[in-house]
Amino acid sequence: MASTISVCMIVKNDVQVIGDALKSAMDQVDEIVVVDTGSIDHTVDVTRRLSVKVYEDLWDNRFASM
C-alpha cells in the first residue's frame, strides 16, 4: 500500500499568503485540505482556483470541533 502525505491548513483571512503557501506545498504532498474558519476576504476563492479541497467551518474556539 502506497503512503499518502497530506497537508491540512486551518486558515482565516489569509489571502495575502495562501496562494504562495499552497503552491509551495503542491509538488511535495499528495493532497492539501484547507479548512477556512470564516474568512471575509478572498482566501476561499484563491484556494478553490488552485483546485484544493476547501471546507468552510466557522471557528468556535475549540480545536476538537474541527
At 1-53, the pLDDT tens digits run: 688 999 999 999 999 999 999 999 999 999 999 999 999 999 999 999 999 99
* pTM reported for the whole predicted model: 0.85
Cβ pair 32, 6 in contact under 8 A: yes
Amino acid at 18: I
User: Given this model, what pLDDT does residue 35 score?
Assistant: 96
Instruction: Give the cell for residue 7.
Output: 497537508
